[in-house]
Structure 1
Amino acid sequence: MLYDEIDDPGEMTPTELHGRYAAELSETISSVGIDEVVELTGLDRETVESIADGETADDLSLEDAAAILATEEGTPEKDAILLEVRDHLLMGMTTGLLDVDTLARDIDGDFEARAVQQKIEGRAPMSVEEYALVHHAIAQRNDR
């Protein structure tokens, strides 16, 4: 669920990780149904349809992705998914002895340490694309 089904995320590129997340979301929408996902998440139909068609939806928030995943029966609620994802990132940082300054430098993007910290903690929105960058950087650091 956004991380636990991907073996060796540090060996992939952030783009490949993002593609995997998009595939997982697409599978969920296919399983649940577009109408049901739209109704349960409040997302607009066009967005849900594009994700169902396999588009990566670069600006899709992690919160919206969690809402989509939560529509599948037997899956935790959106907030539980978000807490699990954030906990996974923080535990990865702890395991890798990684602080936000180092993480910000390792991420292939224009992130400042404060922004990275706020996104990981859920105090600032994070897109699925940004999550792929952060997840990859942490996994890659832990693979060293």
Structure 2
Amino acid sequence: MHVLFVEDDAMNRRVVRDMLKVVGAEMSEAEDAETGLRMIEDDSYNVILMDLRMPGMDGLTAIQQIRARHDTKAALPIIVVTADTALDIRASCLAKGADDVILKPVAMKQLFAAMGKLMVAAERRKAS
């Protein structure tokens, strides 16, 4: 499994990278949304983890740009990873094209549950 984590905070990236190593997943990192979008062009990912608040382009704008693509990468599973606890944040993220939302600090159980759910759904879509 290859995961792209778009997150401006190096410590958050390190924590998630260490979690993913436990299950043998590979993680690529982007410090901002613009870099993340370029990386999607150049590589294949199974899941994208996207922070919302970053310098420059925010995560929701990046998600909308991914969803607007005209290739298979438009359907990449995207999990928003945010510290924002506003009551409507989940609904807002899902409306903009995210597949799921998890809160920081990221818990391993929460991360793997969200990723597992999306991977199962993706496999079901392929089988249909």
TM superposition score normalised by structure 2: 0.33
TM superposition score normalised by structure 1: 0.31
Q: Which is richer in strand? A: 2
Higher relative contact order (CA 8 A, sep 6+): 1
